[in-house]
Amino acid sequence: MTIIRFQALAGGLFQLVIMGAGLPHRSVRYISNSTPPQRDVFVVAHQDDWQIFMGDVVARRIKAGDSATFIYLTAGDDGRDSLYWQTRERAALQSTRLAIGVDATDSTAVRCSTIEALAHAIHKCVIANTESYFLRLPDGKRNGAGFARQGYQSLRKLRGKKIAAITAIDGSAVYLGWGDLIATASVLVGSSPLADIVVHVSDPSVAANPHDHFDHRMAGLLVNDLRKGQKWNTQYYVGYALAMRAANRSTDQAREKTAIFLAYDKEMMRVNKAWSAYEEHPAFYSECMLRTYARKARPS
């Protein structure tokens, strides 16, 4: 019988311990030419969202040979200075490396540059067959009110027309309204006549996904607005309410999801041990590793 348990480790990390099973071999498996390729786009609010809510799905799709695009809407700054949010970006890329199977010590594996989309400068990083875009918009706080450091800007206020524009926290771009942000995101998602596009995002429904962070909900609403008239398949994921659902991941899925999240957490702690996400809410994160819930959106 396989037993799963979480152990607290020094420094605030946790480890999924598997009794009676070895770690799976990490390698990228490419699909046959007879199967239409798929491009997966993960639109998230913060740098650790996909690891917590859909990490095992990301790993499965990459192993199947899909290309993956990550769009990070906010800087995840939590009202703090640049060292914090820049570390979060590096931590997100460490999770991406692990999901792909790229050696974390290989500094040449990541290629970053600044690209332009509809006159907006956006930080882009490429690792193997993945692309990561960091829009660096202000973190809106859980209630969508924003933080004083960034003038209380938030995605919730932008969509609700409480503010006319929102500025990236590094000053790299200004988005003149919700429509401007939607149009820019559309460019990043792009189109692919040779591959099916599947967009993954937090569920915008309060009924299906209660008690979630407003930035998560805004990401879902952005995709909901964006996909109108598109032929994309869309998967909506449960956020903070995930820990209240029944465990539904297999041993291997839970182990893989845990490893991907740990890659993020370890990078945060490497810079500042007080920045461990797990240490903030250990029970919550432990429960999330055993669960992933999603529903398929109706065709637009």
**pLDDT for position 176:** 98
One-letter amino acid at 32 equals S
Q: Give the chain's mean pLDDT.
A: 88
Read off the pLDDT band of 268 (50, 70, 90): very high
Tokens of 28: 């990228």
Residue 23 lies in a domain: no
**pLDDT for position 195:** 66
Per residue in 135-179, pLDDT (tens digit) is 999 999 999 999 999 999 999 999 999 999 999 999 999 999 999
Lowest-confidence segment of 116-120, 206-210, 277-281 by average pLDDT: 277-281
Residue, of 25 and 290, whose pLDDT is higher: 290
Please state the pTM of the whole predicted model.
0.88
Read off the pLDDT band of 12 (50, 70, 90): very low
**pLDDT for position 299:** 76
Residue 24 has pLDDT above 70, yes or no: no
Task: Evaluate whether 291 touches 230 at the Cβ level (below 8 Å).
Answer: no
**pLDDT for position 228:** 85
Q: Domain range for residue 194?
A: 36-291
Residue 41 lies in a domain: yes
Residue 51 lies in a domain: yes
**pLDDT for position 234:** 95
Read off the pLDDT band of 10 (50, 70, 90): very low
**pLDDT for position 229:** 77
Report the CATH number at residue 153: 3.40.50
> How many C-beta atoms lie closer than 10 Å to residue 190's C-beta?
12
**pLDDT for position 261:** 98
Residue 300 lies in a domain: no
Per residue in 204-252, pLDDT (tens digit) is 999 999 999 999 999 999 999 998 878 889 999 999 999 999 999 999 9
Residue 7 lies in a domain: no
For 35, 114, 217, 230, the CA distances from 194, given in Å and listed in that order, are: 11, 26, 31, 15
Residue 239 lies in a domain: yes
**pLDDT for position 169:** 98
Read off the pLDDT band of 6 (50, 70, 90): very low
Q: How many domains does the chain have?
A: 1
Per residue in 72-101, pLDDT (tens digit) is 999 999 999 999 999 999 999 999 999 998
**pLDDT for position 26:** 43
Residue 92 lies in a domain: yes
**pLDDT for position 32:** 41
**pLDDT for position 149:** 97
Residue 137 lies in a domain: yes
